[in-house]
Amino acid sequence: MTTKKRYGNQRPTQSVVLPYTQSLYQRAVDVYEKTGLSCHEWQKNLLKDIMAVDDDGLWVHQKFGYSVARRNGKTEVIYIAEMDALEQGLNILHTAHRISTSHASYEKVKKYLEKSGYVEGEDFNSIKAKGQERLELYHSGGVIQFRTRTGSGGLGEGFDMLIIDEAQEYTTEQESALKYTVTDSDNPITIMTGTPPTPVSSGTVFMDFRKTVLFGKSEDFGWAEWSVDEMKDINDIDAWYETNPSLGYHLTERKIRAELGNDELDHNVQRLGYWPKYNQKSAISKVDWDALKVNALPTLVGPLSVGIKYGNDGKNVAMSIAVKTLSGKIFVEAIDCQSIRNGKQWIINFLRDADIAQVVIDGQSGQSLLAAEMKDFKMKAPILPKVAEIINANSAWEQAIYQKTICHSDQPSLSHVVTNCDKRNIGSSGGFGYKSQFEDVDIVLMDSALLAHWACANGKTKKKQKVRY
């Protein structure tokens, strides 16, 4: 019995496309197929949405972004649109993050012109200088320039079509230099393509654009992606087919198996199109933290919540408190950060004398010992959070800062730690924690504060906390 060949999902798993009745995609496909190549079904489907036009012949989507996992041929969709634009006499700017990527795209489009029967020097002109490549089709006057993105590249120039390849690296500085280059066109279009950002990605524009379109807060914009909503096992073959439209064509199961390693998050982002729920490159800025400063101690309401964090290196332990205010915010303050060699008595003394609702202790180097000593002193059992709860606490801390529901008295030690931190991955489901940017700045002080904040925001007993998680 012959087994039917399996192909990847030919439709986006998630998209936002404005209504339209006509599209110029077939014209572009016909131009491309003069090379002797053919389009996959998913590429035609995507082009149909990108090249949709209204009754006046204007692009329905002035900006369109799409995300597809690596090695599926997402840039080929760009080449098809560019070949058509050249035939229509348009002025095109193709940008990429790396010089090698930009040059490779120049070589590919030039090759396609030649495969279509055009002769260099007779039918088209080319400039091969790396970083400044250019192709001009004589009979139409269409021109395409290939550039590596910079903070000033494109200023003073005008184009009809702007291409943002490797869009996960597209920064706000680059966007401010490039977005006005298509303003003077009678019918401008910007197309962005890339993958979800990784921990080393520098751009935020692509992620912000996706959020804007998916939440319906834009006009004239479109979006499509092949992705999973949550982390999948690296051996989940059904997830491979759901998120890789070219699987079964030039991409095969055998090739994907060869990629598999121990980094589950990387596999989900790079191969399954998973979008982590946070910006992996961000840190808490001094501007955001300073905006939460109070000049006088606010009116405090209720008992304290205490966060205690033992350092991963087993050297230090920090303690902070959080308490609700009359205005409904949560006031946070660091108590101290001391060497483990100083013992636990300073912590016990504070816990014994203060009016405390709950205590959260994290850090395997001293968590259980401190909990046992609290029991000896007949104190209420502390919360010993699991990984999922730690992730929740970090996320709640970030959200509270941006939503301005935290306040503080600008303690130099705490402010220095908070404003000099980066994010790090925690667990296998896209969770995050914080790390210090500098070796001489100990992150445990902020970790203790965010644990106290989490306990205060929850305002539940340990038993109820277990039910929730």
Q: What is the DSSP letter of 137?
A: E
Considering the chain, tell me which residue range(s) the CATH 3.40.50.300 domain(s) occupy: 14-270
Distance (Å, whole) CA 408 – CA 414: 9
Looking at the DSSP bridge assignments, the partners of residue 266 are none
Looking at the DSSP bridge assignments, the partners of residue 321 are 306, 333
457, two tokens: 């925001």
**Nearest Cα to Cα of residue 350 among 330, 370, 369:** 370
Q: What is the pLDDT of residue 155?
A: 56
Do 322 and 304 form a contact (C-beta atoms < 8 A)?
Answer: yes
Q: Residue 304 is which amino acid?
A: L
Distance (Å, whole) CA 188 – CA 179: 10
Q: What is the pLDDT of residue 283?
A: 60
CA atoms within 13 A on the CB side of 459: 7
3-state secondary structure 418-447: HCCEEEEEECCCCEEEEEECCCCCCCHHHH
What is the domain class of 14-270 according to CATH?
alpha beta
Considering the chain, tell me which residue range(s) the CATH 3.30.420.240 domain(s) occupy: 286-468
> How far does CA 454 lie from the centroid of its chain?
24
- From residue 11, give the alpha-carbon distance in Å to each of 48, 241, 282: 12, 11, 32
Q: What is the pLDDT of residue 314?
A: 78
**Tens place of pLDDT for every residue, the chain, 469 residues?**
556 889 999 999 999 999 999 999 999 999 999 999 999 999 999 999 999 999 999 999 999 999 999 999 999 999 999 999 999 999 999 999 989 899 999 999 999 999 999 999 999 999 988 778 999 999 999 999 999 987 655 556 799 999 999 999 998 888 988 989 999 999 999 999 999 987 667 788 998 899 899 887 778 999 999 999 888 999 999 999 999 999 999 999 999 999 998 888 889 999 999 987 544 444 688 888 999 999 999 999 999 999 999 987 778 999 999 999 999 999 999 999 998 888 899 999 999 999 999 999 998 878 889 999 999 999 999 999 999 899 999 999 998 998 899 999 999 889 888 988 888 888 766 688 898 876 667 899 999 999 999 999 987 534 333 333 3
97, two tokens: 């993050």
Distance (Å, whole) CA 456 – CA 405: 12
Extract long-range pairs of 253-259: CB within 8 Å, 24+ residues apart.
Answer: 255/71
**How many beta carbons lie within 10 A of that of residue 18, not counting itself?**
15
Specify the CATH number for 286-468; select among 3.40.50.2300, 3.40.50.10680, 3.40.50.1000, 3.30.420.240: 3.30.420.240
Q: Residue 338 is which amino acid?
A: Q
Distance (Å, whole) CA 196 – CA 209: 12
**Nearest Cα to Cα of residue 454 among 372, 336, 362, 380:** 362
Residue 94 has φ and ψ, to the nearest 5°, of -105, 115
pTM: 0.63
Q: What is the pLDDT of residue 465?
A: 35
- Region of 313 please: left (phi>0), alpha (psi -120 to 50) or beta: alpha
- From residue 72, give the alpha-carbon distance in Å to each of 40, 76, 77, 117, 252: 10, 9, 10, 27, 10
Task: Give 207's contacts (C-beta < 8 A, 6+ positions apart).
Answer: 168, 196, 197, 275, 279
